[in-house]
């Protein structure tokens, strides 16, 4: 799951370095506000979850590890 998320982010947003699992994606400008919507669409279609708009916050999707934890929480 983590590699799938990291691979999609890397392919879509093309950071100029290898992403760390705890790297702040929004604060380091890898993903912007439009990118969070694209990310949510990807996660919803890929993992069969629904992410409410109010959950599209740094605490849930700010890093790759947080994204994976959010997916796992929503799937349980």
Per the structure, the complete domain to which residue 62 belongs is given by 2-15+23-75
**How much is the pLDDT for 62?**
96
**How much is the pLDDT for 49?**
97
In this predicted model, what pLDDT tens digit does every residue of 16-48 receive, in sequence order? 999 999 999 999 999 999 999 999 999 999 999
Q: Which CATH number covers residue 71?
A: 1.10.1200.10
CA distance 38 to 49: 14
**DSSP result, 30-53:** SS-HHHHHHHHHHHHHHH-----G
- What pTM was computed for the model? 0.93
As for how many domains the chain has, the answer is 1
Three-class secondary structure of residue 24 per DSSP: coil
What is the band of 12 on the pLDDT scale with cuts at 50, 70, 90? very high
Average pLDDT, the chain: 96
Q: What percentage of the chain carries pLDDT values higher than 90?
A: 97
């Amino acid at each position: 799951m983590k590699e799938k998320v990291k691979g999609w982010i890397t392919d879509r947003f093309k950071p100029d370095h290898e992403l760390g699992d705890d790297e702040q994606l929004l604060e380091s400008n890898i993903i912007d506000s439009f990118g969070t919507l694209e990310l949510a669409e990807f996660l919803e279609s890929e993992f069969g979850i629904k992410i409410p708009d109010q959950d599209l916050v740094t605490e849930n999707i700010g890093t790759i590890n947080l994204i994976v934890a959010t997916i796992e929480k929503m799937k349980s």
